[in-house]
Structure 1
Amino acid sequence: MNHFYGKSFLKEIDFSAAEINYLIDFAIHLKSLKEQHIPHQYLAGKNIALLFEKSSTRTRSAFTVAANDLGAYPEFLGKNDIQFGNKESVADTAKVLGSMFDGIEFRGFKQKVVAALAADSGVPVWNGLTDDWHPTQMIADFMTLKEHFGSLTGLTLTYVGDGHNNVANSLLVTGAILGVNIHIGAPTELQPAAAVLAVAQKAAARSGAKLLITTDPAAAAKGADALYTDVWVSMGEEVDYAERIKLLLPYQINPKLLAQTGKKSTIILHCLPAFHDTHTTIGAQLLHKYQLDALEITDDVFQSKQALVFQEAANRMHAIKSIMAVTLGNLFIPESIFTE
């Protein structure tokens, strides 16, 4: 019996708290098997298509290693290999790929593309990131919280910065589903869309999660068990950098904001890449131009013992492995786990 078998993983709001918790716990279990060198080839002989409209380090690496560990064969198809709607419709592409592959990962721009792939391919499709949602990141993020704190119950996660991007959307709804309090500190024009907030509020009414959306970074940080941020400009987004930096500088994670949590135990999360120093070409250019030492997070906080960003990054692989294994593997998962 496998409750998840054949399902796609397109966005968090398609899943219950019990289901998301199962994915997190199974990811922790698979991580333990990997550390003990115990084979877990639940997808032996399966073929996986990895479709990347947007480039990636963590997502591509995580899906590739996860597929290999599970005994599957991953095939990378980059933006020059797939041209949705350009030479071939998404529906036609989906039907062709579905006839050859057992599962499809998609990382790109439009949510409607990943939804169309799931509708027309006939195989499980996994969202590696779209402009709207980043669900595989969420399993890794809440897995990291659970590993560190032992439980998710009663935790408060504060996200500061660009509050209307895919990571902010996903944190808001996933926390609301799981009963984790979510605070978002962002300027008015970069706060979550009303439709996303409405979905989160509905989920929070069921779970008891407390949601706070505020322009005050100190109010957002108060009581946070985890402080989370992301880059200030998303891939493919065309904005005035000077204006965006000026708008978001008050929301930078730095020692002052960290102190405003009022907790010594607060951890730092970031989905990476991060502009915390000048050791990247883009970072160096931006920081020199605007005479800054860092953008969304200062180097001292990023390098501190409280920052679990590399544990979080490593957990992407285990989280993705969990998602692929339960939706494509013949696992026995008792139905009773999901009765709420």
Structure 2
Amino acid sequence: MSTIRHLVSIKDLTNEEFEILVERAEYFKKIFKSNDSNEFQKNHLKLLGRTIALIFTKRSTRTRISTEGAATFFGAQPMFLGREDIQLGVNESLYDSAKVISSMVSCIFARVNVHDDILQLCKYSSVPIINSLCDTYHPLQAICDMLTIKEHLDYTKNKLKLAWVGDSNNVINDMAIACLKLGIDTAIATPPGVEMDDGIITAGQEICAANGSKLLVTHDSVEACTGANILVTDTFVSMGEEYAKEAKLKQFKGFQIDENLAKHADPNYKFMHCLPRHQEEVSNEVFYGEHSIVFDEAENRLYAAMAVIDIFVNENGKFEHVKKQA
């Protein structure tokens, strides 16, 4: 029996595997935009009559739409299972839930609160588990972000620097590793008292030692943004942290990406945000300005989901099959 490949975080992938995922997302975007009926039909037959489960214990907009759209593209029926729909870890153990659900579907996209839930699902599931967000990682966002950067600034031809200004969270954990794997220098600025995960820093430093990328972790937002080609931020108050909103906003005062901070970046910088966005994170002038590519970024979540389904489900996690096709 072959080993099941799950998608838990970007750091679990080799550099080449991650590049293949981004390229595959780019490939499916071209097909989707072409409206080629023959290509649509060929791909639609790949999972015709199958079901893909979406276990979401946290609400979502982009993740749900993109995942359901990607499943439908391949002919599968997406089945949304919210926290009010099933008894995941409540009246039924994760073991029981994983065993039952995976016996009836071809893949499980799981958007959960804690990272251990993803690990438990991977341990007991008989089909691929795709981490659609947990408190530690967000790999689907990293795939779509790298596709967006490739489209606008082409990291294959240009040496780039990405600056993150904001919290230490699941988005930057995967984004930092993704950037470094692709040779994009990464600078992370968090407020004093907010530190990056030691495991992410260690993994990032190992990648830098192997391919010459640079990783800077600082509490100085100007230092991080100086000369940056891409500026990125995210919510300061994550889902489930609403109780600490007042304290968090006080801690993050001065970390909004506005035109004054953006002046330190490259003149042709691009601004990214995974959404939803709040005013304290980025000014209207930057978010809706000429440098912003946030809506291209949001759309690319669809093609990231397509790439993941194609490789982890259609190709049973065998990246070498996709490489040969290319």
Per the normalisation by structure 1, the TM-score is 0.88
Q: Given that residues 311 and 322 in structure 2 are in contact (C-alpha distance below 8 angstroms), is that contact kept between their aligned partners in structure 1?
A: no
CA spacing shift, 1:241–1:336, aligned 2, 3 Å = closer
Which residue does 1:299 correspond to in 2? 284
Q: Given that residues 162 and 231 in structure 2 are in contact (C-alpha distance below 8 angstroms), is that contact kept between their aligned partners in structure 1?
A: yes
- 3-state SS, counterpart of residue 190 of structure 1: coil
Q: Given that residues 171 and 182 in structure 1 are in contact (C-alpha distance below 8 angstroms), is that contact kept between their aligned partners in structure 2?
A: no
| Of 101, 106, 116, the match for 1:112 | 116
Which residue does 1:284 correspond to in 2? none
Which residue does 1:280 correspond to in 2? none
More displaced stretch, 150-159 vs 329-338:
329-338
How many residue pairs end up in the alignment?
315
Residue 218 (structure 1) aligned with residue 222 (structure 2): yes
CA distance in 2, matches of 1:201, 1:91: 35
CA distance in 1, matches of 2:160, 2:232: 13
Which residue does 1:316 correspond to in 2? 301
Alignment of 1:1-340 (within 5 A): 6-38=4-36, 39=40, 40-41=43-44, 42-152=46-156, 154-162=159-167, 164-261=168-265, 263-275=266-278, 294-330=279-315, 334=320, 337=323
CA distance in 1, matches of 2:319, 2:251: 47
Using the aligned pairs only, state the percent identity.
34
- 3-state SS, counterpart of residue 129 of structure 1: coil
CA distance in 1, matches of 2:96, 2:319: 34
Amino acid at match of 2:15: A
Give the deviation of 1:73 after TM superposition: 0.8
Amino acid at match of 1:121: S
Amino acid at match of 2:145: D
More displaced stretch, 325-334 vs 134-143:
325-334
CA distance in 1, matches of 2:273, 2:87: 31
Give the deviation of 1:176 after TM superposition: 2.4
Amino acid at match of 2:283: T
Which residue does 1:287 correspond to in 2? none
CA distance in 2, matches of 1:57, 1:174: 23
CA distance in 2, matches of 1:192, 1:35: 38
Q: Given that residues 43 and 71 in structure 1 are in contact (C-alpha distance below 8 angstroms), is that contact kept between their aligned partners in structure 2?
A: yes
Amino acid at match of 1:161: G
